[in-house]
Amino acid sequence: MKLKYGLVVLVEAAMRAVMCLPRFRLCCALKSLFLRCLGAKVGKSVIYYPGIWIMTGRNLTLGHHVNLALDVLITTDGGVSIGDRTMVGYRSQIISCNHIIPDKGERIFDSGHVHKKVDIGKDVWIGANCLIMPGVRIGDGAVVAAGAVVTDNVPENAIVGGVPARIIRMREE
């Protein structure tokens, strides 16, 4: 058991060290290699700003030319897929795992977790400080306004915003 916790601490320390590097091409290639070692599938030319936190890395698929801005947080145990040419804004969070709320009288600490895949399509723009909750599908071409909390699926080419996020309008052709 101590070995397991030691490995967790080691991986977390490595994540912090690697992901604090600047977004130069060589540093981004190193970050992609690190994520692949954790079990992620990573496309070409992914840009990682400093301060990103992606844990555990397994069940993650990043398409080509994905852009992850400063301080993005992604939990991947439930599965996260981000399509080609998608931008994730500053301090946004993509959560694929959450705690289970136990029945009254039961301990919250022991309640366990629920894992649900997050699927983000191609050419999506997620604004700054957004929260994408477990089980959400965001369609191709969608735009999520800054500060939105996405709890339900977002159709293709929809512009959503608010808490919880609602359709503001559809993108024009």
Give pLDDT tens digits along the chain (173 positions).
Answer: 688 888 888 999 999 999 999 999 999 999 999 999 999 999 999 999 999 999 989 999 999 999 999 999 999 999 999 999 999 999 999 999 998 898 888 888 888 899 999 999 999 999 999 999 999 999 999 999 999 999 999 999 999 999 999 999 999 87
CA dihedral 168, 147, 91, 4 (to 10 degrees): -100
Q: Tell me how long the chain is.
A: 173
Given 64, 65, 99, 113, the catalytic residue: 99
Spatial strand order in the sheet of 73-75? 53-55, 73-75, 93-95, 131-132, 149-150
pLDDT of residue 7: 86
Q: Are the beta carbons of 39 and 58 closer than 8 angstroms?
A: yes
DSSP character for 18? H
Instruction: Indicate if 64 belongs to the active site.
Output: no
pLDDT of residue 55: 92
pLDDT of residue 92: 98
